[in-house]
Structure formats: C-alpha cells, structure tokens
Amino acid sequence: MSEQLQSDFDKIVKTSKISKEEIQIKKDFLNKFIKRGFPNRKQEDWKFLDLNQIIKKNIGDISFFNDYSQPNKIDSSIFIDGLEHNKIIFINGRIEKIDFNYEDQNKIEISDETKKDISFDYENSLIDLNSALTHKVFKIIVKKNYSLKKPLIIYHSTNDKIKSTNINLRLDFELGENSCLRLIDFFTDNAAKNFINIFYNFNLEKNSILKNYKIDKFKNNSLKYSFNNIEQGNNSVSETFILSAGSDYFKNEINCNLNGEYSSAFINGVFSLKENQQHEIRTSINHLVENTKSYQLIKSVLGKNSKSAYQGRIFVNSKAQKTDGYQLSKAILLDETSEFNAKPELEIYADDVKCSHGSASGSLNEDSIFYLMSRGLNYQQSKELLINGFLLDVVEKITDSEIKNLIKNIIGLKE
C-alpha cells in the first residue's frame, strides 16, 4: 500500500500548485500515516470496526489519486426540494460550487488559505492521511452577530467516474460572537466502493450556535469516516444529529472541547441498518471548565447481519465543577444475526458533577406488538409503528423545526 500511496502522492504534488513549504508539511503527515497505516482493531478506538480489514476486503487496492483539474457536471436532481438553502457541492471530493446567495456577502468570508496545522492532540492516522492528501482546504467564517438566514447544505456526492479511491476533504468553520450556522451534510453516492475521509474543524466563539445534521440515508456501498472537532467558547451551543443508514460502513467521530463556561453540546444519533452494514458513532466530550453541559442520545434499529457500535466518552476535568453530562444508548435487535456494541465511558476528576449514562438493548417488546395487533394492526404494521416511535424520539430532539420536518420527510417518519 505504501508504494502506491507514495507514487499517488507524488502525482498529487506534481499536478497541484503548492509551495515547497506546504509540500514538506504534507510529506510529514504522509510519513506519519505510512508509519501507522489504516487503524485496526488492536487500537482501542477501533475495537468494534476494523477499518484496515474492511478496506482490504472491500476495496483491495485502493488508489489515492484524484484528478481535480476537470470540473464535474452538477446533477441538480440531488438537490433538496422544498427548503431554500445555501450550497456547497462536493463531487468526487472536488469542490464544484460554493453558493451563499441568500446571505449578506459581507458577513461571510471564504478563504482557501487555511493553515494545515492541527490544534489538538490526536492519535488518529486518518487525520494524518487527510492532512497529507486533501486537495484544498476552505475556511468559512461567519462574522460577529450574524445568523445565516437559510441553512447551508453540503452535498457530498460521487459519480461513476471514480472507483476504489480514497477521497479526503476538509472544511474549517469559524463562528464569530453571537453568530449562528445551520449546516446539513447530505450524502448521495453513485460511485462504487470508495473510502471517503471527511474532517471538519469548528471553532465556536462566545454565544455562537452551531447545528450540524448529517444525513446518510441512501443505500450505497462506500466506506465513510467523518471526524468533527468542535471547540466551544463561553455560552456557545453545538447540536449534532447523525442519521447513519445508507453506507455500507460509516464511522462518525465527534471530539468536542467545552472550553468556555456555560457552553453545551448535544449529540443525537440514529442507526437504521440492514444487510451487512456496519456503523459506529464515537464521541468524546471534554468538559474543561465549570458549568458546562452535554447530552447524548443514540438509538439503533438493527436488521439482518448488521452491526452498530457506540463509543461515548465523557471526560470531566478537575476544574470542571458543576458539570452536567448524560449519555443514553438504546438498541433494538431485529434479527438473530444483528449485533450491538457499546462502550459508554465516564472519566471524572471533579466531585461536584452530575454525570450518568445508560445503555439498553434487546428485541422488540412482544407485549407491545400484541397490544397493537389486538387493536387491528397486522404484525408488520405494529412492528413498524413501534420502530418509528422508537426513532422518532431522537428526531424530536432536533431544535430546528424546519429541518426537523425535512428530516422526518427524508426518513419517512410520520407523527
């Protein structure tokens, strides 16, 4: 693999116009990645999802080179109807369009001269890979006191031009004081068997609000990894919702540092998996100062041969008194072959805190099904009703009503 990687890297360097300095930085990251390789189950964080194995089995020889010189045609059929929105469109990892037509252009700044350094500690070779190979890093700055009028939808789509390729992309966001951004990641894939590695970096200043919704609904056989790093200032709020259902493999990772007092983080996730899918959500919420709050709710519905995992970690620093942390994960196993793994972790160094977690898994309650059937529903209907109710609970946590309705429509949940 490393030979392939090296030659692809040389090709990338040749085709892109970047300074010598930058090449050196990228090379350092590349070497770091080559040293560690793709993560495997021997690493604690990857215990439940052995990426190295999965790539070997599903992709085999993975290519790291993408030709970014030619623009791709934008297929407007993927756009979401019925909701006015700003757009960023990625096709095969190339940014094709950035469109903030609904917004005050003075209040939003987009720059592609972002430093590639990474401001936090990590032990994750995929971030090295991302930093080494990402084509262009854009930074989107929302200025002080500005709330975007319309949500921003980032379309992640692939077409049949690429196959068995690794795509890396990175976006940085900076939310100024009192600003607000609603962000939807929307995945549509037509290409087969690619490994997509997404890295977002958020910086939330005082009183800012970030709402991030990740929607992976349509069946595709890609492997995806998404990493969000969120730094939060005083009184800021971050809300993340993950719908993890479409890809064959998907791991969402969120690292959230609550650096400012009264900041809070909410993470809600839904797994709805079928045939041979393997998905995971891993969170790490670091309560670093007083009076911070976090809330996590993850629910899984698991069909035949599917596997979901939730690894949640709440860390409370000894300074972080009056922390309020909560984690809950629930799973319904529908088939003999489905599997649910959880590792809800608490690491606490302060005494005046309220932290708890819960986890429950099992099959659908036969008594509930009996109750519904005795009221005239058939078995299938009763089952669906129960599952919908189970998942609706998470969707209802979405604070933005416009987007909540959109997501309900996409999932096909009715109240």
Partner 1 sequence: MDTREKDIEKLKDYKYGFTTEIENIKAPKGLNEDVIKFISNIKKEPQWMLDFRLKAYERLKLLKEPNWQKPKYPKIDYQDLYYYSAPKSMKDKPKSLDELDPKLLETYKKLGIPLQEQARLNGIAVDAVFDSVSVATTFKGELTKHGIIFCSMSEAIQKHPELVKKYLGTVIPVTDHFFATLNSAVFTDGSFVYIPEGTKCPMELSTYFRINASETGQFERTLIIADKGSYVSYLEGCTAPMRDENQLHAANVELIALDDAEIKYSTVQNWYPGDENGKGGIYNFVTKRGLCKGKNSKISWTQVETGSAITWKYPSCILKGDNSIGEFYSIAITNNHQKADTGTKMIHLGKNTRSKIISKGISAGFSDMTYRGLVDINSKAKNSSNYTQCDSLLMGNKCGAHTVPYIKNKNFDSNIAHEATTSKISDEQLYYCQQRGLNQEEAVGLIVNGFCKEVLQQLPMEFAVEAQKLVGISLEGSVG
Note the residues at the interface with partner 1 (CB under 8 A): 44, 318-319, 321, 331, 333-363
Which amino acid is present at 139?
A: K
Nearest approach, Cβ of residue 342 and partner 1 (Å): 4
Q: Between 141 and 348, name the residue whose CB sits nearer to partner 1.
A: 348
Write out the two tokens for 316.
């409370």
Nearest approach, Cβ of residue 297 and partner 1 (Å): 15
Gyration radius (Cα) of the chain, Å: 21
Q: Between 149 and 354, name the residue whose CB sits nearer to partner 1.
A: 354
Quote the CA–CA distance of 108 and 323 in Å, as a whole number: 34
Q: Between 67 and 347, name the residue whose CB sits nearer to partner 1.
A: 347
**287: helix, strand or coil:** strand
Q: Between 202 and 340, name the residue whose CB sits nearer to partner 1.
A: 340
Nearest approach, Cβ of residue 153 and partner 1 (Å): 35
The residues near 377 (Cβ < 8 Å, ≥ 6 apart) are: 385
Nearest approach, Cβ of residue 10 and partner 1 (Å): 38
DSSP string, 30-68: HHHHHHH-S--TTSGGGTT--HHHHHHHHTSS-B-----
Which residue shows structure tokens 């999965």?
Answer: 54
Quote the CA–CA distance of 62 and 33 in Å, as a whole number: 15
Nearest approach, Cβ of residue 203 and partner 1 (Å): 29
Nearest approach, Cβ of residue 304 and partner 1 (Å): 10
Q: Between 47 and 56, name the residue whose CB sits nearer to partner 1.
A: 47
Which residue shows structure tokens 């951004």?
Answer: 181
Q: Between 72 and 327, name the residue whose CB sits nearer to partner 1.
A: 327
Is the CB of residue 270 less than 8 Å from the CB of residue 245?
Answer: yes
Write out the two tokens for 300.
């899984």
Is the CB of residue 198 less than 8 Å from the CB of residue 166?
Answer: no
Quote the CA–CA distance of 178 and 191 in Å, as a whole number: 40
Quote the CA–CA distance of 199 and 118 in Å, as a whole number: 11
Which residue shows structure tokens 């970047």?
Answer: 18
Nearest approach, Cβ of residue 214 and partner 1 (Å): 24
Q: Between 228 and 306, name the residue whose CB sits nearer to partner 1.
A: 306
Q: Between 56 and 343, name the residue whose CB sits nearer to partner 1.
A: 343
Q: Between 10 and 335, name the residue whose CB sits nearer to partner 1.
A: 335
> How many residues in the chain?
415
Other CB atoms closer than 10 Å to residue 271's CB: what's the count?
Answer: 27
Nearest approach, Cβ of residue 177 and partner 1 (Å): 31
Nearest approach, Cβ of residue 48 and partner 1 (Å): 9
Is the CB of residue 201 less than 8 Å from the CB of residue 174?
Answer: no
Quote the CA–CA distance of 128 and 70 in Å, as a whole number: 26
Nearest approach, Cβ of residue 378 and partner 1 (Å): 21
How do the residues of the chain divide into helix, strand and coil, expressed in percent and rounded to 5? 25, 40, 35
Q: At what angle do helices 20-36 and 2-15 cross, to 10 degrees?
A: 160
Q: Between 356 and 381, name the residue whose CB sits nearer to partner 1.
A: 356
The residues near 392 (Cβ < 8 Å, ≥ 6 apart) are: 413, 415
Which residue shows structure tokens 């790291």?
Answer: 64
Centroid of chain to Cα 24: 29
